[in-house]
Amino acid sequence: MDLGIAGKWAIVCAGSRGLGRGCAEALAEEGVSLVLNARSPGPLEEAAAAIRARGVEVRTVACDITTDAGRAAVVAACPEPDILITNAGGPPPGMWSDWGRAEWQAAIEANMLTPILLMTALLPGMCERGWGRVVNITSQSVRAPIPQLGLSNAARAGLTGFVAGTARQVAARGVIINNLLPGIHATDRADALDRPLAEREGITLEEARARRAATIPAGRYGTAGEFGRVCAFLCSQHVGFIVGQNILIDGGATNLTL
Ligand code: NAP
């Protein structure tokens, strides 16, 4: 299927590794040029070089996307993108009683306000030009809470509420916003959550992975590649009637009928 987006420009936030990288690779495969962001310049430049080999242009902006200055730098590198993929690192696990104002502020900045403020900056131009696609990488925790990820459950719920209303306000202008909800994928983030489990239970990292994989009906972790391709489809010409949805990619892990 031709996604019909060759020649377009996308901003991909937090895209040097993991799910963001998967989205960047899949968009590049479709002929989309990129502004790629992450904090560490080395891995960012390595990712950009690998993606350029697919024949698209890639500009890099090494900065913390959760700051005003970081978002301004990314927007300045591509003030009129056709596509926006929002993403940032996930908050740490813990107990509700562990977290005070500073931890809440950080989670809300990263996983709620950062995507909201990027959309606020870029939606007006997309509406004026009559075409745009936004995909926010959120989490399965939006559909069913993960108790030890309370910061994520709460901050991402705020973003989900914003998207639910806003997506319906811009759809008639040709601007389509949806959220992608990853379940467990084989990335550094999954390792960061598996490691404490391994330490707590006195088992190896491989055993911890196997235990978590056994809780997923598909029997395995997802891959950044398959996640990226679904993201690219949600950025395509074919999704003009998919508005404000929350699409789970979790191997069936979230036990829901609807
Ligand atoms: P990952 O493998 O740890 O990759 C994170 C990427 O984001 C890296 O490129 C990292 O590069 C960049 N990054 C992190 N914080 C950043 C910031 N403040 N500014 C700019 N770039 C930043 O993570 P992932 O697994 O792809 O997860 C992506 C998102 O999906 C996270 O919010 C995570 O919580 C969520 N999620 C993941 C899973 C999963 O199983 N993987 C499941 C549910 C939800 P630098 O470190 O160089 O900045």
Instruction: Report the pLDDT value the prediction gives residue 189, as an integer from 0 to 100.
Output: 87
Q: 44 C-alpha to center of ligand 1: Å?
A: 13
Query: Is residue 67 lining ligand 1, measured as CB closer than 6 Å?
Result: no
Measured from the CA of 43, which atom of ligand 1 is nearest? 47
In the chain, % of residues over pLDDT 90: 98
Q: What distance in Å separates the CA atoms of residue 3 and residue 244, rounded to the nearest whole number?
A: 20
pLDDT tens by residue, 133-170: 999 999 999 999 999 999 999 999 999 999 999 999 99
Residue ID of nearest Cα to ligand 1 atom 40: 184
Give 49 Cα–ligand 1 centroid separation in angstroms: 20
Structure tokens at 223: 């891959």
State both tokens at 82.
Answer: 């056709």
Q: What is the pTM of this model?
A: 0.98
Atom of ligand 1 nearest to the CA of 21: 9
Please write the tens of the pLDDT for every residue from 79-128.
999 999 999 999 999 999 999 999 999 999 999 999 999 999 999 999 99
Q: Give the residue, out of 12, 13, 19, 230, with the most ligand 1 atoms within 8 A of its beta carbon, to mutate for a pocket test.
A: 19
- C-beta 251 within 6 A of ligand 1: no
Residue pair 186/227 in contact (Cβ under 8 Å)? The answer is no
- Say if residues 155 and 112 touch (Cβ distance below 8 Å): yes
Look at residue 173 and tell me whether its pLDDT is greater than 90.
Answer: yes
Task: Decide if pLDDT at 70 tops 90.
Answer: yes
**Whether residue 66 has its Cβ less than 6 Å from ligand 1:** yes
Q: State mean pLDDT over 196-206.
A: 94
pLDDT at 57 over 90: yes
Please give the distance, rounded to the nearest whole angstrom, from the Cα atom of residue 78 to the centre of ligand 1. 21
Q: Where are the strands (E) in 29-109, listed by range?
A: 33-38, 58-62, 83-86
Decide: 89 in ligand 1 pocket, CB within 6 A.
yes
4, HSE (Cβ side, Cα atoms, 13 Å)? 10
- Report the alpha-carbon distance of residue 225 to residue 19 in Å, rounded: 8
Q: Is 248 in the pocket of ligand 1 (CB under 6 A)?
A: no
Dihedral Cα 19, 63, 129, 27, nearest 10 deg: -30
| Segment 7-18, tens digit of pLDDT | 999 999 999 999
Taking the CA of residue 141 as reference, the ligand 1 atom at the shortest distance is 43
Nearest ligand 1 atom, CA 20: 26
Note whether 106 and 91 are within 8 A (CB): yes
- Other C-beta atoms lying within 10 Å of the C-beta of residue 54: 16
